[in-house]
Structure 1
């Protein structure tokens, strides 16, 4: 298992941490994490914030790791199976506005932002305009009320 971090300058792509396992690689984009805790509750043996590295992809079967990563509403966590397959987006694509204005989207998405067009399967977009990571929500404004992170409300 390797833990690689790709740093970025302000005009480059966002920082991405990569945790490589034998059966699956998990990537993490810290600026997009909204702390929904789906990962740490779903597979604590793989995702443990008290340890470094905090992600050990080989601590569970690759299919289980992929299943838990797909629960990450913000898309901060992604996975790449060793067999070369990719995450299939939800069909149909869904959009839900939280009571405070965030847009929670799942499906085959193309998000345009500061770093150009990015294919996405899961995102939480800012609804108030205060995010420093536009168009993604970063919990810096009024559209990030704590009760909007309730698991299962997709």
Structure 2
């Protein structure tokens, strides 16, 4: 069995790829109706058992970018109409939008539109989440108390700078949703905590310095 992190499943109209470096087991694929993904089957992904439109829609449910597709008609995955970040209950930041994540490898195409980024400080795959928040017993419900200054528009690039030993610096239109799903903060730039120590989560308050947070 290949140890390559990316596995491609080829179909007649669409190829689907799975990147094990990004998967955090949310299960949007395996729990989808139909037989595109069936655990225990070899291969577990069969692109030709559903129509192409359904395959695209299911792949786009993957919140971490671990699943991607290559439509053989040449039509790429479209960027969402708006950039949004969900602050997951006791979990990561789920980003959905037109993303540019600093340092993301070129062979991780899924994170151009969907990504799960660590906010507990414990991931061994920073800036991406690797489920270390579970073992670290990270606790934060994902509440957001501030409304933000507002958006300059609804779309456009969301740049995510990964500050060494510091926060995630956002630049671009973005809406931040709480762990309960409420759309809360809206603005064009902010810094998000990724050390897990901020007293003003999800925003950075400089606690990474006192905590001695190291991003490597």
Q: Give the TM interval when normalised to the shorter protein.
A: 0.7 to 0.9
Give the whole-Å Cα distance in 2 for the aligned partners of 1:42 and 1:32. Answer: 19
Query: Rg larger in 1 or in 2?
Result: 2
Aligned equivalent of 2:166 = none
Deviations 1:116-142 (A, max 9, x none): 696511111000121111111010234
Distance 1:123 1:144, change over 3 A: farther
Whole-angstrom distance in 2 between the partners of 1:143 and 1:98: 14
SS at match of 1:87: coil
Q: 1:125 aligns with which of 103, 117, 122?
A: 117
With 105-114 and 69-78 compared, the bigger mean Cα shift is at 105-114
Q: Per the alignment, do residues 42 and 101 of structure 1 end up closer, same or farther by CA in structure 2, a change over 3 Å counting?
A: closer
| In the alignment, structure 1 residue 139 sits paired with structure 2 residue 131 | yes
**Superposed, which structure 2 residues align to 1:78-117 within 5 Å?**
78-100=68-90, 102-113=92-103, 115=105
Kindly indicate whether the alpha-carbon contact (under 8 Å) linking 1:113 and 1:135 is maintained by their aligned counterparts in 2: no
Runs of 4+ in 1 over 4 A off after TM superposition: 116-119
Normalization by structure 2: what TM-score? Answer: 0.57
**Distance in 1, Cα, partners of 2:46 & 2:33:** 10
Q: How does 1:3-152 map to 2 (within 5 A)?
A: 7=4, 15-100=5-90, 102-113=92-103, 115=105, 120-141=112-133, 142=136
SS at match of 2:132: coil
Structure of higher RCO (CA pairs closer than 8 Å, 6+ residues apart): 1
Measure the CA separation in 2 of the matches of 1:80 and 1:136: 23
Alpha-carbon separation, structure 2, partners of 1:99 and 1:105: 14
Any gaps of 5 or more consecutive residues in structure 1? 8-14
Displacement after TM superposition at 1:143 (Å) = 7.3
- Mean alpha-carbon deviation: is it higher for 41-50 or for 56-65? 41-50
Measured in 2, the distance between the counterparts of 1:87 and 1:6 equals 27
1:64 deviation in Å?
A: 0.2
Aligned positions, number? 140
Shift of 1:52: 1.4
